Structure 1
Amino acid sequence: MVDYPEFRQDKYQQKAFNQGGSDLVKMLEDQMEGRSDAWDIRFCYNRYRANGLTVYPTISKVQNIGFGHEATHTNIYNRYKTTLDQGSQRQFKLSPQVEATPYYHQKTLQRYSVVTRIYNKLKTYAGMR
């Protein structure tokens, strides 16, 4: 994260980084200033710096078990609850051409938008987990 000081001064880069979610710059700042301890924001930043992409399946192949009494972030609504793929397919054929898909990019932005985050906070305050 040696280039973070330059990133911190560059509003254009910050806007580009926030294309993955409107709270990414704030989460990275909290991480760098010691207000949080989360590996995932460092991963997202390094993916951004490498101009990388992430492949997300349309049906989840993993279940997030990071919520509960022993977890780090338990007091929030678990927006990561997903239907787990019950299929037996173990091999996948990916296209040799790697590119962002506008439809799914928009869906990702919606999932991590300010409106969605407020809605999830309200669910937390209502006692939903």
Structure 2
Amino acid sequence: MRTHAPIILFCYNRPGHLRQTVESLRMNTLAAESELFVYSDGPKNTADRQRVDEVRTYLAGVTGFRSVHVREAETNKGLANSVIEGVSFVLSQFPKVIVLEDDMLSTKDFLSFMNQALDTYASRDDIFSVTGYTPPIAVPGHYPHDVYLAPRASSWGWGTWADKWAEADWQVSDFVALKTDAAQRDAFNKGGNDLWPMLAKQQQGVIDSWAIRWTYSQFRTGAYGLYPVHSKIKNIGTDGTGTNFTFKSGEYGDELSEGAVTMPPDLRPDDGMIHAFGRYYRLPLLLKLKNKVKYGI
């Protein structure tokens, strides 16, 4: 009998968003059979303490899962450190995980989809991660499957396996070589031409992102992320309240789709899907110019 992947949920100081996320997750058909690990980050300052306390008061009463484990940080670790440490710890105990942040609404079959994907593609060396989210790309009319592969990892309602996570190079040890190799940078940017600028900013200390380093680790091994054609995750943190989302957008996850999904074990990358995916993440010209002038990217 296969066991369900444990769920890891990262939260900080948004009790309202967290409540919606947990309530949505609790309605999943596999929630009662799944263990939930919650990582509550500590306050950055005195002003944050009240909302962090509200989060923890709410978490103390969460039920509806096989078990609930809450980890409360005394000081603020930041999202990147929290994710790397938390996912690494849980994956030292389990072979696979499902990961969310505190601003994700899910369909009732999200956990079923994720567990199905984690089971189906566990042995595929060229698939490093799976996700229940898909951006609103223009799916080519010829594409026949319910899932697709893209050269990018998603940070919105995602999952991975212990052996794949162990391949991550959080220091990006070959960054200098990448910086001088235009062909490799172009190849990395197939998942969106925002990837190289994000990685460069990460290495310059401008941003602190686990996700761009995880995507780069995936790229270095020639691996892909698995996405559904129709999203099972909606982000509600694009209202400007999130740590890493500083703009509002009505574009993210408008479509949520329940229903059975067929997952071919021998699924292969599709050039049309990858092209459509990359186009969605194409940087606006003004931002490209800003990156060049301000950061030398």
- Classify the TM-score, shorter chain: 0.7 to 0.9
Structure 2 residue aligned with 1:98, among 267, 275, 282? 267
TM-score (norm 2): 0.35
> Structure 1 residues 110 and 42 mapped into 2: Cα distance closer, same or farther (>3 Å)?
same
> Are the equivalent residues in 1 in contact too, given 2:178–2:185 (CA < 8 A)?
yes
Between the aligned partners of 2:238 and 2:225, the Cα distance in structure 1 is 23
Greater mean alpha carbon deviation, residues 63-72 or residues 19-28: 63-72
What's the CA shift for 1:94? 2.0
Identity of aligned residues (%): 29
Maintained 8 Å contact 2:238/2:249 = no
Aligned pair in 2 of structure 1 residues 15, 93: CA closer, same or farther (>3 Å)?
same
Change (3 A) 1:21 1:88: closer
User: Is the Cα–Cα contact under 8 Å of residues 235 and 253 in structure 2 kept in the other structure?
Assistant: yes
Partner of 2:234, secondary structure, is: coil
Q: Which residue of 1 aligns with 2:237?
A: 66
Change (3 A) 1:3 1:100: same
> How many corresponding residue pairs?
113
1:17-56 to structure 2, matched below 5 A, reads 17-56=188-227
Paired residue type of 2:202: Q
Unaligned runs of 5+ in 2: 1-171, 286-297
Q: Which has the higher contact order (CA 8 A, sep 6+)?
A: 1
Q: Distance in 1 between matches of 2:176 and 2:229?
A: 36
User: Counterparts of 1:5 and 1:78 in 2: how far apart (Å)?
Assistant: 37
When the two chains are superposed, the root-mean-square deviation of aligned CA atoms in Å is 1.9
Q: Which segments of 5 or more consecutive residues in structure 1 lack a partner in the other structure?
A: 119-129
Amino acid at match of 1:96: P
Residue in structure 2 matched with residue 121 of structure 1 by the alignment: none
Provide the rounded CA distance (Å) in 1 between the counterparts of 2:251 and 2:210: 19
* 2:192 counterpart letter in structure 1: G
Per-residue CA distance 1:34-70 (angstroms, 9 max, x = gap): 1012222112111111111111111101111332343
Query: Residue 176 of structure 2 aligns to a residue in which SS?
Result: helix
Partner SS, residue 239 of structure 2? coil
Larger radius of gyration: 2
Opposite residue 66 of structure 1, the aligned amino acid is G
Q: What is the alpha-carbon distance in structure 1 between the residues aligned to residue 215 and residue 250 of structure 2? A: 20
Structure 1 residue 106 displacement after superposition:
1.7
AA at the equivalent of 1:67? T
Higher relative strand content: 2
Find the aligned partners of 2:198 and 2:240 in 1 and give their Cα distance: 23
SS of 1:7 mapped into structure 2:
helix
Residue 247 of structure 2: aligned partner = 75
Report the 3-state secondary structure (helix = DSSP H, G, I; strand = E; otherwise coil) of the residue aligned with 1:113: coil
Distance 1:96 1:88, change over 3 A: closer
Find the aligned partners of 2:254 and 2:269 in 1 and give their Cα distance. 23
Displacement of 1:76 in angstroms is 4.3
| Post-superposition CA distance 1:72-121 (Å, at most 9, x none) | 22324354233111x253xx44222232112211210221124xx46xxx
- In structure 2, relative to structure 1, the CA distance for the partners of 1:30 and 1:66 (3 Å cut) is same
Tell me, yes or no, if the aligned pair for 2:191 and 2:277 is still in contact at 8 Å.
yes
Distance 2:208 2:184 in 1: 23
**If each structure's helix is expressed as a fraction of its own residues, which one has the higher value?**
1
